[in-house]
Chain A
Amino acid sequence: MKARTRAAATLLTPFFVLFTAVMLIPIGYAVWLSLFTEQQSGLGFGGSETVFTGLGNYTAALGDRVFRDGFLVLLGYCVIYIPLMVGGALALALLLDSALARAKRFFQLALFLPHAVPGIIAAMIWLYLYTPGLSPVVSAMHSGGIGFDFFSPGGALPSIVNIALWEWLGYNMVIFYAALQAIDRSVLEAATVDGASGRRIAFSIKLPLIRASVLMVVLFTIIGSLQLFTEPLILNTGSGSAVSSSWTPNMYAYTAAFSRNDFGLAAAASVLLALTAALLSFVVTRLSGRKDAHA
């Protein structure tokens, strides 16, 4: 018995040493950093010194309109993106799972392929497909009489939602499809014998049975959305863009750290972002838990 405990400890040690080094310690360090600020000493000639500021960085971040606007951007993004993503992936998975679909292996692979494209490259491809002159799409839309500016204040958010959908729709579809495939076929056959239509089966039987997967995808999609950075960063480099360098909270933290060297403020922004993720994860799991009790 002793030998087994020792073996378990040996096998777990590498993971937990690294887990501590690259997750637990950085989390603690971010919290610690967020409590300090750099202050110019004297007339600003003697360099700066680090002083304790308590929650000063948090009130500074929350008091900054730019930071609060970043959360509004995220809110708008989530409101458009999450229903489209979850609804779209579910619809595709149900279509693929229906008895009518052909060439299932091909569809699954083709829909999944964008996931193999690095996010930064996906963002650049779409940047070019949005750029007038460079893009066959924009010129086709133009000759069709549609003039849409993908970089305008109203166009930037949909442009970014489209990039994210392209990257993740197929991935989440495969998760849902896998869950649908795991449903006991006899349940579905019984419903068919009872005369339920394909659509009725999809909505009344299949969807409730894969609720756990839907919940998981919603959770990961929210956490991913909160970290929004790469796609807007790329659109920001496009000239005349509506996307500023502090457009999302993550971009705000990055700019605070590397353009203004204000690490305390950047750490506070990161901690607030992580707290938001924790809070939303808690709410989502709670809400689904309550539905369980009713069922």
Chain B
Amino acid sequence: MSTTTRKNPWLSKAAVNGALLLAVLYMLFPLVWLVTAATKDTGSLLSGDTFSFKGFDLSKNLSDIASYGDGVYFRWYGNSLLYAGVGAAVCSLICVAAGYAFDKYEFRGKEKLFGLVLLGVLVPTTALALPMYLLASKLGVVNTYWSVLIPVLVNPFGVYLARVFSAGYIPGEALEAARIDGAGELRTFFSIGLPMMMPGFVTVFLFQFTAIWNNFFLPLVMLSDRKLFPLSLGLYSWNTNTHSEPSFYPLVVTGSLLAVIPLIVAFVSLQRHWKAGLTAGSVK
């Protein structure tokens, strides 16, 4: 092939872009199926006839979702927004503060402490969910908002990213200038450091928001009250009903589509930020 490659550049260009296009088709096919399947009534969904206009009934699916169980789906949606929104905001602030401190200050045992943070990145988090559940039940917070919210405030990788961003975005002179003007250290962080690190803050926020929105194992272990479920757990509970009651299929499919939309929008509109995060993670 390499001889043809050199002789016929058009052919190899077609091969490279063709291979990429095939990969894109593989990635997008399930999403396209999800969109078309969400518009189908139970009958045509179960007949596998997803890519035609037969049995188009999106509005019924949407009203079914809204009415099932007194609108519990939108309660789940609100819960997911709460867990992911509040969790990611607080987590990002904590990470940025720690990353800034690791980057801009010298203190004894700094690199050892940072090594501990890096070790935290390697801990398989699902192995912690069970002891966390037992601890939470001792404290009496199992099956509360707190039991899902507090564990997601910690992200060691976010601290690592924040340190990289702090080194990249905040020149030391900016802090020196603030100090000469007599600003206190914490004040300098909030008025100079944090604004300069805003792109890094958004990046950590985006990744943590996604991680919490997608979190399934922790809520599965912690929550039993349906009213506290995030979308992931709620849709899972619907899915377990589909065997005995096929009319749950359109609910799961349409509910999944609505659950995916905010993240797709976020990733399409914040491309610069997730690319920056993965770049900082890959190029050390």
Chain A residues close to B by CB (< 8 Å): 3-12, 14-16, 18-19, 21-23, 25-27, 29-30, 33, 92, 95-96, 98, 100-103, 105, 107-122, 124-129, 133-136, 138-139, 166, 169-171, 174-176, 178-179, 181-182, 197-199, 210, 212-213, 216, 219, 223, 226-227, 229-230, 234, 237, 239, 250, 253-254, 257-258, 263, 266-267, 270-271, 273-274, 277-278, 281
Q: Do the beta carbons of B24 and A139 come within 8 Å of each other?
A: no
Instruction: For A174, list chain B residues within 8 Å (CB).
Output: 274-275, 278
Q: Which of the residues B16, B47, B216 comes within 8 Å of A100, measured between beta carbons?
A: B16
B4 within 8 A of A: no
Q: Which of the residues B30, B122, B231 comes within 8 Å of A126, measured between beta carbons?
A: B30
The B interface, classified by DSSP as helix, strand, loop or mixed, is helix
Complex CA distance for A95 and B22, rounded to whole angstroms: 12
Least CB distance from A59 to B in Å reads 19
Complex CA distance for A111 and B231, rounded to whole angstroms: 24
Complex CA distance for A15 and B260, rounded to whole angstroms: 30
Least CB distance from B34 to A in Å reads 6
The A interface, classified by DSSP as helix, strand, loop or mixed, is helix
Instruction: Apart from A100-B9, A112-B267, A120-B214, list 12 A-B contacts with CB within 8 A.
Output: A6-B185, A7-B186, A14-B94, A27-B131, A105-B271, A109-B271, A111-B20, A118-B232, A118-B263, A136-B48, A178-B279, A271-B127
Least CB distance from A58 to B in Å reads 15
Least CB distance from A232 to B in Å reads 13
Q: Do the beta carbons of A234 and B185 come within 8 Å of each other?
A: no
Q: Do the beta carbons of B216 and A118 come within 8 Å of each other?
A: yes
Q: Which of the residues A15, A107, A212 comes within 8 Å of B94, measured between beta carbons?
A: A15
Q: Do the beta carbons of B95 and A15 come within 8 Å of each other?
A: yes
Complex CA distance for A33 and B130, rounded to whole angstroms: 11
Q: Which of the residues A27, A102, A182, A216 comes within 8 Å of B279, measured between beta carbons?
A: A182
Interface string of B250-270 (1 = CB under 8 A from A): 001100100110011011100
- Name 9 A/B residue pairs within 8 A (Cβ), A-sorted: A7-B185, A8-B101, A23-B128, A29-B135, A33-B131, A95-B19, A101-B17, A129-B33, A234-B236
